[in-house]
Amino acid sequence: MTSIIESCWTYLITNFSDFQLACLGSFLLHESVFFLSGLPFIYLERAGWLSKYKIQAKHNTTEAQDKCITRLLLYHFCVNLPVMIASYPVFSFMGMRSSLPLPSWKVMSTQILFYFIVEDFIFYWGHRILHTKWLYKHVHSVHHEYATPFGLTSEYAHPAEILFLGFATIFGPAITGPHLITLWLWMVVRVLETVEAHCGYHFPWSPSNFLPLYGGSDFHDYHHRLIYTKSGNYSSTFVYMDWLFGTDTGYRKLKALKSEEEDKYKEN
């Protein structure tokens, strides 16, 4: 497996420059993973398949879904891509490389764990600030246009928010100067996580059923259903920040009530 990855990587670095791989390659990878993982949830909702796993009974209109896709393409090409190009000198200066040998799995997993910790901390406080009255009204309300989220709404946001919270995602890699393959792996994992958190479905195989402290779709869906200043559940991937600062109290109470109702139903 390692030799196959190294052979593919050798082809990439032989035929493309570092700039092309870090900017255009990263952009193409992001778009591919994002839309391939997010689009299926639109079709699930439209077709009504797996509806028993859908968290909310409400559905988005076809027009609302199409609007989301159109805006996303505009934001990705006009905001995300320029940011990737502009940030390349920073990553290059901090030591990011694409050459062989590839980093070990131990190195990559350690760095990605560090990125999760950094991203969770910055995202929590940035997201919580976005829920203050003025910033919510003028910036964050765009993201909350979809009270019933689906996978692609994870990146549907005001351009200022894309820059603001996008900083949380790139800060860890920016200060460590990782190998490009580590940056790509981090990007893939982060995109899959945020799409899952916004997918609107809670399956038996959802990661939150197996990973301790992982938020996931049920945790974040609650955040979208409530009024802006009272929503809580501001965390990104893992929920310990909300637990530490008591901003998940409403969600925990609701979960407890549902658990009690289920127990009573089973008894009867």
pLDDT band for position 1 (cuts 50, 70, 90):
low
Q: Which residue has the higher pLDDT, 199 or 262?
A: 199
Domain count, the chain: 1
Predicted TM-score (pTM) of the model is: 0.95
DSSP 233: -
| pLDDT digits 0-9 by tens, 100-129 | 999 999 999 999 999 999 999 999 999 999
Given pLDDT bands bounded at 50, 70 and 90, which one contains residue 152?
Answer: very high
Residue 3 has pLDDT above 90, yes or no: no
Report yes or no on 143 lying in a domain.
yes
Question: For 173-232, what is each residue's pLDDT tens digit?
Answer: 999 999 999 999 999 999 999 999 999 999 999 999 999 999 999 999 999 988 766 789
Instruction: Specify if 59 maps to a domain.
Output: no
- What letters, b where the CB count within 10 A reaches 16 and e where it falls short, cover 237-259? bbbbbbeeeebbeebeeeeeeee
Using 50, 70 and 90 to split pLDDT, how confident is the model at 264? low
Question: Per-residue pLDDT for 263 more than 90?
Answer: no
Q: What is the pLDDT of residues 228-253, one digit of tens each?
A: 667 899 999 999 999 999 999 999 99
Distances (CA, A) of 78 to 130, 156, 264: 22, 13, 53
Residue 33 lies in a domain: yes
Q: Measure the CA angle with vertex 118, ends 116 and 121; round to 5°.
A: 105
Given a contact cutoff of 8 angstroms between Cβ atoms, the answer to whether 67 and 213 are in contact is: no
To the nearest 10 degrees (0 to 180), the angle between helices 159-176 and 180-197 is 140
Q: Which domain holds residue 166?
A: 2-49+65-267
Kindly state whether residue 57 falls inside one of the protein's structural domains.
Answer: no
Beta strands, E only, 4-109: none
Let me know if residue 75 belongs to a domain: yes
**94 part of a folded domain:** yes
Residue 56 inside a domain? The answer is no
Residue 201 β-bridge partners: 54
In a domain, 256, yes or no: yes
> Which of 74-83, 156-165, 249-258 shows the lowest mean pLDDT across its residues?
249-258
Residue 231, pLDDT score: 83
For the chain, the straight-line distance linking the first and the last C-alpha, in angstroms and rounded, comes to 53
User: What span, in angstroms and rounded, lies between the C-alpha atoms of 218 and 54?
Assistant: 10
For residue 225, what are the CA distances in angstroms to 15, 36, 120, 149, 259? 48, 26, 22, 9, 20
